[in-house]
Amino acid sequence: MEILGVRLDTRTTRGLEIISKVMKMSPSKWIAGLIAENLPKAIEEVKSERICSYVRGEISKEELREVFGDGAELAEVSLRRMLDILIEHGVKGNVKVNQQVKALEYAKSL
């Protein structure tokens, strides 16, 4: 586990004290739980935005790799989810019916 220092304004600190008192846990434990709960969604949103930026030609493949690495990080977004993201942003697919049939046959063989 790593320790992360965070500066909070007085109002936020007071709110954190109230929440942690009501929840009967330390402020740091409450914040850690909140981050752990929300981080996966935030990561997926950032990845989706970067992937769409790449597809629109706003960033290069090298810039995409700087954010995600050489594919290992991208693997955290399933192919199905990536296709959904692209469709949501109006990107038309180029997968032909025979490719889909082959993919389904392969999936059945597993």
- Terminal-residue alpha carbon distance, the chain: 38
Q: Whose CA is closest to 16, among 40, 4, 32?
A: 32
Distances (CA, A) of 10 to 14, 21, 69, 71: 6, 16, 38, 42
Task: Give the max Cα distance, the chain.
Answer: 61
Alpha-carbon gap, residue 44 to 47, rounded angstroms: 5
Q: Whose CA is closest to 1, among 34, 38, 36, 27?
A: 36
pLDDT at position 58? 86
- pTM of this prediction exceeds 0.85: no
Label residue 72 by pLDDT band (50, 70, 90).
Answer: very low
Average pLDDT, the chain: 79
Label residue 69 by pLDDT band (50, 70, 90).
Answer: low
Whether residue 18 contacts residue 24, with contact meaning beta carbons closer than 8 Å, is answered with no
Share of the chain above pLDDT 90, in %: 29
pLDDT at position 76? 65
pLDDT, tens only, 37-48: 998 888 888 888
